[in-house]
């Protein structure tokens, strides 16, 4: 027997069917619709990515100066400094802090980028996720 939801006249079974359908990725038949989504996401993210790359570049150049000056990779330096194998000089403190920040920023940037790329890839496969109209 069907249970009718009084305020909408929709049956419970119909509601469940709609909820299930809306939570399922759906196939988008036309190129136009999904292209608009992809373009819109890209347009929003491009300035963000450019700003992130700019600020990361500044830190990267700073690390490069130290790497050339002391003929050591930043990663190797960081390991040595964290283990107190190098002196506590002003350059080394600055290099240590800069590398810590750079490594963290790069990790966050790559995580965000891979999230976005997954979304865009999903878009290019002509599927979109939840909240699609039934």
Partner 1 sequence: MPVDGRIRAYYWSLRTFLEEKAAILNPEHPDCRFPEDDNQVYYTHYLEGCLVFIDGSRLRFELALGFDEVYNVVEKRYFYGYFNPSGVRRFQYDNSPHHPHLSTFPHHLHKGPVPKKGKDIALDCDLTEVSFFAVVSKIEELLTR
* φ, ψ at 23 (rounded to 5°): -85, -5
**Whole-angstrom distance, CA of residue 6 vs CA of residue 100:** 60
Which of 94, 110, 114, 134 contacts partner 1 by CB under 8 A? 94
Binding to partner 1 by residue 91, rule CB under 8 A?
Answer: no
CB nearer partner 1, residue 105 or residue 132: 105
Tell me the C-alpha distance between 92 and 112, whole Å: 30
3-state secondary structure of 6: coil
Three-class SS state of 4: strand
Site residues (CB under 8 A) for partner 1, limited to 19-78: 51-52, 55-56, 58-59
- If one asks whether residue 101 binds partner 1 (CB under 8 A), the answer comes out as yes
Say which residue the tokens 């963000």 belong to. Answer: 48
Cα→Cα distances 122→4, 22, 66, 74, 102, Å: 37, 17, 41, 36, 30
Question: What's the closest the beta carbon of residue 114 comes to partner 1, in angstroms?
Answer: 17
Q: How far is the CB of 120 from partner 1 (least distance, A)?
A: 21
Of 112 and 119, CB closest to partner 1: 112
| Size of interface with partner 1, in residues (CB under 8 A) | 23
* Binding interface with partner 1 (CB under 8 A): 51-52, 55-56, 58-59, 81-84, 88, 90, 93-94, 96-98, 100-102, 104-105, 109
């Amino acid at each position: 027997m069907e249970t009718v939801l009084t305020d909408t006249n929709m049956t419970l079974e119909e509601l469940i069917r709609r909820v299930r359908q809306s939570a399922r990725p759906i196939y988008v038949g036309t190129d136009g619709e999904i292209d608009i989504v992809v373009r819109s996401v890209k347009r929003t993210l491009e300035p963000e990515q450019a700003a992130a790359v700019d600020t990361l570049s500044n830190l990267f150049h700073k690390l490069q100066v130290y790497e050339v000056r002391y003929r050591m990779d930043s990663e190797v330096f960081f390991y040595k400094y964290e283990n107190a194998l190098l002196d506590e000089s002003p350059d080394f403190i600055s290099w240590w802090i800069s590398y810590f920040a750079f490594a963290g920023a790069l990790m966050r940037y790559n995580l965000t980028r891979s999230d976005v790329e997954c979304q865009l890839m999903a878009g290019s496969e002509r599927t979109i996720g939840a909240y699609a109209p039934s």
